[in-house]
Amino acid sequence: MNIWLASFAGIGIGLVGLFLIATTNRIQKASFVGPSVNRRSVILLRDGLVIHSNEHAQRSLGDLVLPGQSWCRLKDRLATFIDGLPDELPDQPVVLGDTGAKGQQLFLRTDGETRILELGDIHSSGDIAAADTPEDASTEAVEMAVTPMWKTNSDSQIIWSNAAYNALIRDCGAAGEQATQLFNLPVIDTKTARQSRASLETAAGKKHWFEITSQPTETGTLYYASNIDALVTAELAQRNFVQTLTKTFAHLPIGLSVFDKDHRLVLFNPALLDLTRLPVEFLSARPNLLSFFDHMRENRMMPEPKNYTSWRDQLTNVVNAAQDDRYCETWNLPSGLTYKITGRPHPDGAIAFLLEDISAEISLTRRFRSELEMTQSVIDSFDDAVAVFSQLGVLTFCNTAYRTLWDCEPDSAFAEMTIVDATQAWSKACVPTPVWPEIREFVLTLRDRAAWDTGLDLRQGGSLFCSVEPVAAGSTLVRFSKMTAASAVPAATMDTTE
């Protein structure tokens, strides 16, 4: 949008330059000082009102502000130079009035709805049917421009305005005999152009926004206004969207920071303040990425890199990774906290960083892992071989004695070991017995179950005492104990009480 405004402003300046060239050329051709100098003054009228005049015409008619004047008022002032002017302007090219002893002529030309009056010496060229000159073309281009343009003198009075500006006056209900200053703009005390924004409300109650460029000249100030309603609406929508995002993420426990395409902070939520301990004044000043991470390092809210200088050089890689949705790190802080930082790409080159405190999750995971390791250590100290199967029949746990007894390593297997796989391995090492289908059915059943046990004979000699017990979450514990002579139980006897 800014590129469009700049292009539009360039076109406006070019049109105004053409108009100034045309006006300068006409000044060199017209004069009211005397009959010996061959120069003219030009006045343009439309709908009976003056819409434009060159500077010679304005100076010749004294303090009368021409833009907006009616033909009636203009005729009275022109009577100083020429007699016998008609009450109504003709529709065809003609020489107006009687030259008489005053030695002046008023030529009328038409261009559509525009009446062009040229006042000059009777010895000057008066070909009223002459073809349009380049100056006429440039004047017409400025007059027909859709951009409102106007010029003020040193007293801030409008001395010229184009049709677009006059149309704007009518839309605002301020039309009168003189051009009205619609915008309350400050007087420029420098020789450089300046841009400002101003709003205008029409008679229908509709509000419009304009980007107004003020260009000082030797005789006053030239203005042109570009309508920026679409830009203002887009900015308002963006501001409302940002406010909505801010409200949405206000109670989010995850710290959010969004950096624009220039890597400056444009959005953050309160959780970021709590997690980073950065002052709100610093974040509100829209710091860049380097300053943001520098302050986090100073607050000891990020791990201290071994070589911070090289890490800053690698920040470009961090940004690129975030733009590709590949950046995710876990920070273990000196305070004992653990942060997870994730980079996410956003439209138009923006980047969002999410900062999450996962200290409780990490602590719970570590405690759970510690408990598992302790439980494994305790079970491994048993002489009995122990295995636990889930409700779906998958081996979830076994101790060292089980691995040694059945010569297996479930953790290194490609696929999960099931109760079917386990009973097949057991049956190969034991004397045939009808107990294996019973064990499989017990593990996979969903109904209430009761513990039972049986004896097993090994093919290489010796006996085992097998105990099958239901445990929590529908799982089943199978335990194998070596039998002594005193505790031997015949393999044929099996307690299947439910």
pLDDT at 439 over 90: yes
pLDDT in tens, 221-253: 888 899 999 999 988 887 887 777 777 777 788
Q: How far apart are the C-alpha atoms of 447 and 458, rounded to whole Å? A: 31
Q: How far apart are the C-alpha atoms of 470 and 477, rounded to whole Å? A: 6
pLDDT at 468 over 90: yes
pLDDT band at 465; cut points 50, 70, 90: very high
pLDDT band at 178; cut points 50, 70, 90: low
Q: For residue 251, count CB atoms less than 10 angstroms from its CB and return exposed for 0-12, middle for 13-18, buried for 19 or more.
A: exposed
Task: Report, as an integer, the average pLDDT of 214-218.
Answer: 85
Task: Report, as an integer, the average pLDDT of 196-214.
Answer: 88
- Domain presence at residue 267: yes
Q: Are strands 158-161 and 149-152 parallel, antiparallel or unpaired?
A: antiparallel
Residues 121 and 173 in one domain: yes
Percentage of residues in the chain having pLDDT higher than 70: 78
**Residue 3 pLDDT:** 39
pLDDT at 130 over 50: no
pLDDT in tens, 356-410: 999 888 888 888 888 888 888 888 888 899 999 999 999 998 999 999 999 888 8
Residues 188 and 70 in one domain: yes
Better-scored residue on pLDDT, 51 or 257: 257
Q: How far apart are the C-alpha atoms of 404 and 462, rounded to whole Å? A: 15
| Closest C-alpha among 178, 271, 188 to residue 222 | 188
Residues 315 and 402 in one domain: no
pLDDT at 467 over 50: yes
- Domain presence at residue 489: no
Q: How far apart are the C-alpha atoms of 477 and 442, rounded to whole Å? A: 11
Domain residue limits at 85? 2-228
Neighbours of 51 (CB within 10 A): 23
- Domain presence at residue 242: no
Residues 196 and 254 in one domain: no
Domain of residue 153, CATH code: 3.30.450.20
Angle of the 289-298 helix axis to the 315-323 helix axis, nearest 10: 120
Residues 182 and 320 in one domain: no
Task: Please say which residue of 193, 228, 263 terminates a domain.
Answer: 228
- Domain presence at residue 472: yes
- Domain presence at residue 111: yes
Residues 106 and 12 in one domain: yes
334 token code pair? 């000196």
* First CA to last CA distance, the chain: 80
Residues 285 and 255 in one domain: yes
Q: Give me the chain's average pLDDT, please.
A: 78
pLDDT at 177 over 60: no
pLDDT at 309 over 60: yes
- Domain presence at residue 467: yes
**Residue 456 pLDDT:** 92
- Domain presence at residue 488: no
Neighbours of 192 (CB within 10 A): 8
Identity (one letter) of the amino acid at 98? Answer: D
Lowest mean per-residue pLDDT among 13-22, 195-204, 297-306: 13-22
Residues 138 and 255 in one domain: no
DSSP string for 250-267: TT-SSEEEEE-TTSBEEE
Q: How far apart are the C-alpha atoms of 54 and 116, rounded to whole Å? A: 12
Task: Please say which residue of 325, 360, 395 terminates a domain.
Answer: 360
Residues 154 and 56 in one domain: yes
Residue 348 zone, left/alpha/beta (φ > 0; ψ -120 to 50; rest): left
pLDDT in tens, 453-463: 999 999 988 89
- Domain presence at residue 20: yes
Q: How far apart are the C-alpha atoms of 497 and 438, rounded to whole Å? A: 12
Task: Please say which residue of 228, 263, 287 terminates a domain.
Answer: 228
**Residue 464 pLDDT:** 92
Percentage of residues in the chain having pLDDT higher than 90: 19
According to DSSP, the residues that pair with 389 across neighbouring strands are 395, 476
| Closest C-alpha among 75, 103, 105 to residue 88 | 75
Q: How far apart are the C-alpha atoms of 112 and 114, rounded to whole Å? A: 5
Model-level pTM?
Answer: 0.43
Q: How far apart are the C-alpha atoms of 362 and 342, rounded to whole Å? A: 17
Number of domains in the chain: 3
Residues 37 and 95 in one domain: yes
pLDDT in tens, 82-113: 777 888 888 878 887 765 445 577 888 887 77
Residues 320 and 425 in one domain: no
**Residue 56 pLDDT:** 74
Q: Are 62 and 131 in contact (CB under 8 A)?
A: no
Q: For residue 168, count CB atoms less than 10 angstroms from its CB and return exposed for 0-12, middle for 13-18, buried for 19 or more.
A: buried
Residues 430 and 476 in one domain: yes
Lowest mean per-residue pLDDT among 126-130, 267-271, 334-338, 483-487: 126-130
Q: How far apart are the C-alpha atoms of 161 and 184, rounded to whole Å? A: 16
Give, in degrees to the nearest 5, the angle at Cα 157 between 155 and 163. 150
